[in-house]
A and B are shown apart, each in its own frame.
Chain A
Amino acid sequence: MTNNESTPWAAIEAKPEFRELLARKKRFIVGCTVFFVIYYFALPVLNGYFPDLMKREVMGKVNIAYLFALSQFFVAWIIAFLYMRVAATWDKAAAEIIRGHH
Chain B
Amino acid sequence: MNVPLMMFLGFVVATLAITFWAARRNTGASAYFAAGRSITGWQNGLAVAGDYMSAASFLGISGMICFSGYDGFMYSVGFLMAYITVLLIVAEPLRNAGKYTMADLLAYRLSPKPVRALASLSTLTVSTFYMIAQMVGAGVIIQKLINLNFAPAVVGVGILMLVYVVFGGMLATTWVQIIKALLLMAGAVLLSFLVLKHHGYSFAAFFEAVSKADYAGTADPKNLLEPGLKFGTAVAGPWGPLDLISLGLGLVLGTAGLPHILVRFYTVPDAKTARSSVIWAMVIIGLFYIMTTFFGFGAATIMEKAQIMTADGKPDTNMVAPLLARELGGETFFAFISAVAFATILAVVAGLTMSASASFAHDFYTNVLHHGKEQSPGQEIRVARMTAFVVGAVSIGIAIYLGPSVNAAFLVGLAFAVAASANLPVIVFSVFWKRFNTAGAVCGLAVGLVSSILLILLSPNGMFGKAGAIFPLENPGIVSIPMGFLAAYLGTILSKRDTNAEAKFAELTVRAHTGLGAEKATSH
Contacts and interface: CB of A to CB of B under 8 A. Distances in A.
Contacts of A18: 510, 513-514
B90 to A, nearest CB: 11
A45 B245 contact: yes
Contacts of B114: none
Nearest to B280: A80
Interface string B494-524: 0000000000001101110111111110000
B248 to A, nearest CB: 5
B225 A63 contact: yes
A81 B455 CA distance: 38
Interface residues of B, number: 59
B510 A9 contact: yes
B283 interface: yes
Nearest to A81: B279
Interface stretch (B133-141, B159-167, B172-180, B207-215): B207-215
A13 B244 contact: no
Contact of B282 (A49, A54, A76, A95): A76
**Size bracket, chain A contacts:** 35 or more
Given A9-B506, A61-B207, A98-B516, A44 B80 contact: no
Interface string B79-93: 011011101110000
Contacts of A60: 204, 207-208
A41 B275 contact: no
Contacts of A72: 77, 80-81
Interface string B221-263: 0010111100110000000111011011100100000000000
B289 interface: yes
B516 A70 contact: no
Contact of B225 (A32, A66, A102): A66
Which among B73, B517, B520 has the greatest number of chain A C-beta atoms within 10 A?
B517
B70 interface: yes
Interface string A65-93: 11001101100110111011001000100
A73 B204 contact: no
Contacts of A49: 241
A25 B513 CA distance: 9
Which among A10, A62, A95 has the greatest number of chain B C-beta atoms within 10 A?
A62
A68 B204 CA distance: 18
B98 to A, nearest CB: 9
Nearest to A90: B513
Contact of A94 (B78, B232, B283, B513): B513
B290 interface: yes
Contacts of A77: 282-283, 286
B466 interface: no
A14 B252 CA distance: 34
A29 to B, nearest CB: 5
Contacts of A25: 513
Contact of A84 (B77, B85, B276, B514): B276
Interface in B289-305: 289-290
B74 interface: yes
B510 A1 contact: no
B204 A76 contact: no
A9 B97 CA distance: 13
A51 B248 contact: no
A80 B245 contact: no
A83 B88 contact: yes
Given A60-B204, A65-B226, A94-B513, A29 B289 contact: no
Nearest to B206: A61
B95 interface: no
A2 B515 CA distance: 11
B264 interface: no
A7 B276 CA distance: 28
Contact of B245 (A22, A41, A54): A41
A70 B349 CA distance: 30
Contacts of B118: none
A59 B456 CA distance: 40
Nearest to A55: B226
Given A1-B517, A1-B519, A80-B278, A40 B81 contact: yes
B244 A44 contact: yes
Given A44-B241, A48-B244, A61 B210 contact: yes
Contacts of A32: 84, 88
B197 interface: no
A51 B232 CA distance: 8
A43 to B, nearest CB: 7
Contacts of B511: 9
Contacts of B278: 80
Contact of A70 (B226, B232, B272, B290): B290
Given A47-B227, A73-B290, 20 more contacts: A12-B506, A12-B516, A13-B509, A32-B88, A33-B89, A36-B81, A40-B77, A45-B245, A48-B240, A62-B225, A66-B225, A69-B77, A73-B289, A76-B282, A77-B286, A79-B84, A79-B87, A80-B84, A80-B278, A98-B510
Interface of B: 70-71, 73-74, 77-78, 80-81, 83-85, 87-89, 99, 204, 207-208, 210-211, 223, 225-228, 231-232, 240-242, 244-245, 247-249, 252, 272, 275-276, 278-279, 282-283, 286, 289-290, 506-507, 509-511, 513-520
Which 5 A-B pairs rank lowest in CB-CB distance, beginning with the nearest? A48-B241, A9-B507, A13-B506, A61-B211, A47-B227
Interface of A: 1-4, 7, 9-10, 12-14, 18, 21-22, 25, 29, 32-33, 36, 40-41, 43-45, 47-49, 51, 54-55, 60-63, 65-66, 69-70, 72-73, 76-77, 79-81, 83-84, 87, 91, 94-95, 97-98, 101-102
26 contacts: A1-B517, A18-B510, A33-B89, A40-B252, A47-B231, A48-B244, A48-B245, A49-B241, A55-B226, A55-B227, A63-B226, A66-B70, A69-B74, A69-B77, A72-B77, A72-B81, A73-B286, A73-B289, A73-B290, A80-B278, A83-B88, A87-B275, A95-B514, A97-B514, A98-B514, A98-B515
